[in-house]
Amino acid sequence: MGAALDLSARINLNRTSVLVLDSNPQSLDLLRRVLNGFGVRSVHACQHVRDAERIFYDQTLELIIVDPLFEDDSGFEFIRFARREENSPNRCVGIIAALGHQTLGNVRAARDAGANTVVAKPLSPDVLLQRIHWVARESRPFIVAPNYVGPDRRFKNQGPPLGTNGRRTDDLSFDVPVAAGPDMNQSQIDEMFKPMKVAL
């Protein structure tokens, strides 16, 4: 995700509908203008959570950008609400949390509420577009569990938590089988990838 934006790549956001939730009217206006610059025609800018919930119910969305740091917990709660609306077509859309202050606690709260990624303010157009591009390329599974709904938080497969066998069917056991033969050395591996003539 940290890689620089490939400025020669293309993106077509003309038909994309984006919901933006931010309690700061200046930030909301700037986000709308940045998205318009990216080609987004349909930006639903909301300063209040209740307006965002109404848009979430009424519109088909492709992306949500939210600064969840409201006076209370309602910004994070909005992300949780979006992820738990089982019958909504917007339930699995990409959610970018644009944090005004990215403490470890805030980043964790955004991730655990179900955001796909976090971007730190002050925003810059290139970083925001990089995150949108990243979300567009994402193919993470979606998890529905009693305590969490959202994109799989396991970026790296480090196996199930210590002392458990895991809850998922693709969690690997800690029992490592005995190898059937010696490891391949590098030249044997290279040989497998070497183009060779074959008799047809």
Partner 1 sequence: MSQVRKFLPENKLAKTITDPNGMLLGHAVKKAAENIEKVRDIHLAALEVKLDELAQVAATAMQSQSASDAANLYRLAREVLGDAGIFGLKHISRAAHSLCELMAAGDRHRHQWAGVAVHVEALAILRREGKNPTGADLDGMLAGLAKISRAPV
- 196 makes contact with partner 1 (CB under 8 A): no
Q: Which one among 53, 88, 133, 160 touches partner 1, defined by CB under 8 A?
A: 133
**φ and ψ of 133, to 5 deg:** -60, -40
**CB of 181: closest distance to partner 1 in angstroms?**
34
Q: Which one among 41, 108, 124, 188 touches partner 1, defined by CB under 8 A?
A: 124
- 39 makes contact with partner 1 (CB under 8 A): yes
User: Which of these, 92, 81, 84, 104, lies nearest to 21 by C-alpha position?
Assistant: 81
User: Which of these, 38, 13, 12, lies nearest to 123 by C-alpha position?
Assistant: 38
Q: Which one among 122, 163, 177, 181 touches partner 1, defined by CB under 8 A?
A: 122
Spatial neighbors of 154 by CB under 8 A, at least 6 apart, are none
CA distance 200 to 196: 12
- 1 makes contact with partner 1 (CB under 8 A): no
Where residue 166 falls (left for φ over 0; alpha for ψ -120 to 50; beta otherwise) is left
User: Scanning residues 70 to 109, which ones bind partner 1 (CB under 8 A)?
Assistant: 71, 92-94, 100-101, 103
**Could you tell me how many residues of this chain bind partner 1 (CB under 8 A)?**
57
> Does residue 178 sit in helix, strand or coil?
coil
Binding residues vs partner 1 (CB under 8 A): 5-13, 16, 23-24, 26-27, 29-30, 33-39, 62-63, 69, 71, 92-94, 100-101, 103, 121-126, 128-129, 132-133, 135-139, 141-146, 152, 167-168
